[in-house]
Amino acid sequence: MDFATDDKTVNLQIAREYKSLLKISYQTLSEDDKALIRKALDVAIEAHSSQTRKSGKPYIFHPISVAKIVASKIGLDAQSIASALLHDVVEDTKYSIEKIEEIFGKEIAKIVDGLTKISKLKKEKILSIQAENFRKMLLTLNDDIRVILIKIADRLHNMKTLDYLSEEKQLKISSETLYIYAPIAHRIGLYEIKTELEDLSLKYTDSEVYNEIKTSLEKTKDDQNLYIRNFARKISEKLKSENLEFKINGRSKSIYSIRNKIIKKNISIDEVYDRFAVRIIYDAEPVLEKLIAWKIYSIVTDVYRPNPTRLRDWISTPKSNGYEALHITVVGPNKRWIEVQIRSTRMHEIAERGYAAHYKYKLGDDKESGLEKWLNRLQEVLKNPDSSAVNFVEDFKLNLYSDEIFVFTPEGDLKSLPKGSTALDFAFHIHSGLGLRTRGIKVNGKIVPLNFKLSSGEQVQIIKSNNSKPSASWLDFVITSKAKSAIRSSIKENKKQIGEEGKEILRRKLKQLKINFNENNINKIQNFFNLQTSLDLFYRIGIGTIDNSDLKKYANSQNAIIKFFRRKISDKPLNKSNDTISTTYDQLVFGNNDERLDYTLSNCCSPVAGDKVFGFVTVNDGIKVHKYDCKNSISMQSKFAYRILKCKWIDSTQHDYTSKIQIIGIDNIGLVNQITTVISENLSINMRKMSFDTEGDTFKGSITFRVKNKNIVDKLIQRIKKIKGVYKVVRD
């Protein structure tokens, strides 16, 4: 094979990578397949011969790496591997899509064209570039799902080589990965890739937490392996006596999921006990898989006591993305709770490789797979012209990580919905037209409210009326994207008439304010009131929720954000007095030049001095400062990366901040007095609010106070923890 390059070392490395690519392929490659992959590699080498990556490495190693992910981790065929090798050729080189079709045929050209279109999406004035990219990316699923799978592989390799980019680009790309690519990988069933994307993203969005958890996992790795051997030893003989072919191994919880548990449970990393699960993977013919799974379950629970509330049977009712397994939680050695996942080899491959494994094991019937059902439902929402990109993304993401429930129609058909779905969600799930005409709903033969939350096993009947119309209040309780999209579309029709009237009212009002009625000014007013479309603006003016006084506020605040950036603290002090700010004043500085700008601390996460924070430029309120682990952080950094400001604390001793702690413990006599003494005497903290509630022999307390910085809060928490009877102290 002739590699056109002057560098013999690179030439040899490419040859090794090519051989590795063929060797690790999940699919069995024929000689024709190998010839196709080789031809694609030759074209890619020639096309990228003069290009290098930010790392300085020849560019060709990027498409080869993407192809290896496609071949092994996703498990696609030779055409997909060839397309992965060619995925950047049309975008970055002299090759045209017509030339690719001439060399490789229509199918590969179509995939490469889809990948090129995603990369070339115009970054024009849209509400959220990332959200629009997401929708357009999903639209390619209608043509060939391999486009999105190769794009996910491309993103995974880019995440693995992110070290060579600037900090700003690392943060933006990582946030976008968490916001877009990890959820879609999860939904398609690519659990291994989803986990890698999440962990790599956390490495750049919160490196301190990432490194802390990674170090902790590495320290306990030997203990984990020993524990798994002890666990397996007690059940292996019994499994062998049943003539089962199996293997038992451990799976560490991902760094990202551990971090989420720490935040959700308000605990330290040492308190996360379920850091790994045990997997039992067995060989079986498809017709015997379920029987053998329950046999293994019986053997495991004979040896280890199970928690009956933690049984998850995804073999009888697989998840909608095709995931199958039995999950049980048992008391293992040393009286530790441990999750055990029981899967056949087929189930395991589907869990790891998703789509490709579905094809390998697909039975010869006409039933749609879970993935195909999902794609069909997704198309309806994707093609709805009235659905904004941001609404689509947010609604879509709500359904990604949720558990499922299974309910019945009056005819006995089984339907799956996300956990938390309402009776009205069910109506829209059956058909959008039926949902819009819903007058009432019966669950198990009894009339229930439309917002009634469904549970698995219930039978649901829709009562319809041609005179029924959807209400805006429906959006407050439906959770599925299909329902939200259909309701918004219907309501929008009703808004149009009022919007036309509001448009004329606005035209007259702007004339009085000496502001031209044109598209540019309408967009500015729309953004000022944080509205998504001009119709929303005209509608609110039409019904009077935006009046003369509101429009005058807009007139007085044009170019507010630009003025805000230009205003330095040296020109206008933050405090209301005329005193100048000294160099030791507790302050945040922004940007690469450490500028001092006006800001306010956000209420959603209440940062204090010392917290890792960033600035977000709002439309109306200037810069809002958020903690990096704020619940809104990823969404803001992905959707509005251009409005993110780097910031850091330059001093934390001269300014007070409000902080709040929660205390849980045993209700001992004098305990509250001890706590207040620690707060008031030791650290000179100014208490603002305190409340304690008791239940039985336990109590829960909440204390709000003013502090100088984060270190004082940490010291206070440590001192209160030492008081006898106090069980837990956490910062709220």
Burial class (CB in 10 A: 0-12, 13-18, 19+), 11: middle
Element (H, E) at 644: strand 644-651
How confident is the model at residue 156, as a pLDDT? 95
How confident is the model at residue 574, as a pLDDT? 37
Position 63 confidence tier, pLDDT thresholds 50, 70, 90: very high
Answer whether 666's CB lies under 8 Å from 725's CB.
yes
Asked whether the predicted pLDDT for residue 629 surpasses 80, the reply is: yes
Alpha carbon 571 to chain centroid distance? 41
How confident is the model at residue 188, as a pLDDT? 74
How confident is the model at residue 40, as a pLDDT? 93
CA angle 536, 538, 544 (to 5 degrees): 100
How confident is the model at residue 253, as a pLDDT? 85
Contacts 24+ apart (CB under 8 A), 232-235: 232/278, 234/303, 234/304, 234/333, 235/299, 235/300, 235/303, 235/304
Answer whether 44's CB lies under 8 Å from 93's CB.
no
First-to-last alpha carbon distance for the chain, in angstroms, is 63
Asked whether the predicted pLDDT for residue 176 surpasses 70, the reply is: yes
Q: What is the DSSP string of 604-634?
A: TT---TTS-EEEEE-SSS-EEEEETT-TTHH
CATH pick for 370-488 out of 3.20.20.20, 3.10.20.30, 3.40.30.10, 3.40.50.300: 3.10.20.30
Six token digits for residue 82 = 């060839």
Query: In angstroms, what CA-CA distances link 599 with 173, 544, 571?
Result: 26, 32, 15
Asked whether the predicted pLDDT for residue 94 surpasses 80, the reply is: yes
Q: Where are the beta strands (DSSP E) in 332-480?
A: 337-344, 404-408, 414-418, 438-443, 446-448, 460-464
pLDDT digits over 331-367, tens only?
Answer: 888 888 889 999 999 999 888 877 667 666 664 444 4
- Of 13-17, 263-267, 396-400, 633-637, least confident by mean pLDDT is 396-400
How confident is the model at residue 582, as a pLDDT? 34
pLDDT digits over 275-319, tens only?
Answer: 888 999 999 998 899 999 999 999 999 999 998 888 889 898 887
Answer whether 171's CB lies under 8 Å from 645's CB.
no
Position 2 confidence tier, pLDDT thresholds 50, 70, 90: very low
Q: What's the mean per-residue pLDDT of the chain?
A: 79
How confident is the model at residue 397, as a pLDDT? 56
Query: In angstroms, what CA-CA distances link 432 with 160, 382, 402, 427, 639?
Result: 42, 14, 22, 8, 29
How confident is the model at residue 365, as a pLDDT? 46
How confident is the model at residue 143, as a pLDDT? 60
CATH 3.30.70.260 fits 657-731, yes or no: yes
Instruction: Report the alpha-carbon distance of residue 203 to residue 170 in Å, rounded.
Output: 10
Q: What is the mean pLDDT of residues 593-599?
A: 74
How confident is the model at residue 416, as a pLDDT? 77
Bridge partners, residue 657, by sequence:
707
**Strand 326-331 relative to strand 337-344, pairing:** antiparallel
All structural domains of the chain with their residue ranges: 8-214, 220-361, 370-488, 494-557, 563-651, 657-731
Asked whether the predicted pLDDT for residue 375 surpasses 60, the reply is: no
Q: What is the mean pLDDT of residues 110-130?
A: 62
473 closest CA partner among 485, 462, 488, 461:
488
Q: What is the mean pLDDT of residues 123-138?
A: 52
Answer whether 87's CB lies under 8 Å from 66's CB.
yes
Q: Which residue has the higher pLDDT, 54 or 110?
A: 110
Sign of CA dihedral 8, 11, 12, 13: positive
Instruction: Report the alpha-carbon distance of residue 350 to residue 621 in Å, rounded.
Output: 49
- DSSP class of residue 244? -
Instruction: Report the alpha-carbon distance of residue 104 to residue 93 in Å, rounded.
Output: 17
Asked whether the predicted pLDDT for residue 656 surpasses 70, the reply is: no
Neighbouring residues of 164: CB distance < 8 A, sequence distance ≥ 6: 53, 54, 55
How confident is the model at residue 246, as a pLDDT? 93
How confident is the model at residue 708, as a pLDDT? 67
**What is the CATH code of the structural domain delimited by 220-361?**
3.30.460.10
Six token digits for residue 672 = 């509250």
Answer whether 257's CB lies under 8 Å from 319's CB.
no
Neighbouring residues of 270: CB distance < 8 A, sequence distance ≥ 6: 216
Burial 500-517 (b: 16+ CB within 10 A, else e): eebbeebeebbeeeebee
How confident is the model at residue 697, as a pLDDT? 67
pLDDT digits over 209-233, tens only?
Answer: 899 889 988 888 888 889 889 889 9
Asked whether the predicted pLDDT for residue 488 surpasses 60, the reply is: yes
How confident is the model at residue 532, as a pLDDT? 74
The topology (CATH level 3) of 8-214 is Hypothetical protein af1432 (1.10.3210)
Q: What is the mean pLDDT of residues 472-499?
A: 82
**Strand 623-627 relative to strand 600-601, pairing:** parallel
Six token digits for residue 363 = 């039975």
What residues are annotated to the active site?
Answer: 91-92
- Of 134-148, 552-566, 658-672, least confident by mean pLDDT is 552-566
Position 102 confidence tier, pLDDT thresholds 50, 70, 90: very high
Considering the entire predicted model, what is its pTM? 0.62
Element (H, E) at 726: strand 726-731
Look at residue 346 and give its three-state secondary structure: helix
Q: What is the mean pLDDT of residues 409-418?
A: 78
Six token digits for residue 485 = 């999209």
Instruction: Report the alpha-carbon distance of residue 399 to residue 484 in Å, rounded.
Output: 12
Six token digits for residue 666 = 């045993």
Percentage of residues in the chain having pLDDT higher than 90? 17
Give the largest CA-CA distance in the chain: 90
Six token digits for residue 249 = 């191994």
pLDDT digits over 424-446, tens only?
Answer: 999 998 888 888 888 889 988 88
| Number of other residues whose CB lies within 10 A of the CB of residue 271 | 11
Q: CA neighbours within 13 Å on the CB side: how many for 304?
A: 27
Alpha helices in 513-573, H assignment, sequence order:
519-528, 534-543, 548-556, 560-566
pLDDT digits over 522-567, tens only?
Answer: 888 887 787 777 878 888 888 778 888 888 877 776 544 445 444 4
Position 417 confidence tier, pLDDT thresholds 50, 70, 90: confident
Instruction: Report the alpha-carbon distance of residue 471 to residue 488 in Å, rounded.
Output: 9
Ranked by mean pLDDT, the top range of 354-358, 580-584, 705-709 is 705-709
Q: Backbone phi, then psi, for 159, in 5-degree steps?
A: -65, -35
Neighbouring residues of 699: CB distance < 8 A, sequence distance ≥ 6: 663, 664, 665, 666, 667, 671, 692, 693
Q: What is the mean pLDDT of residues 192-204?
A: 92
Percentage of residues in the chain having pLDDT higher than 70? 81
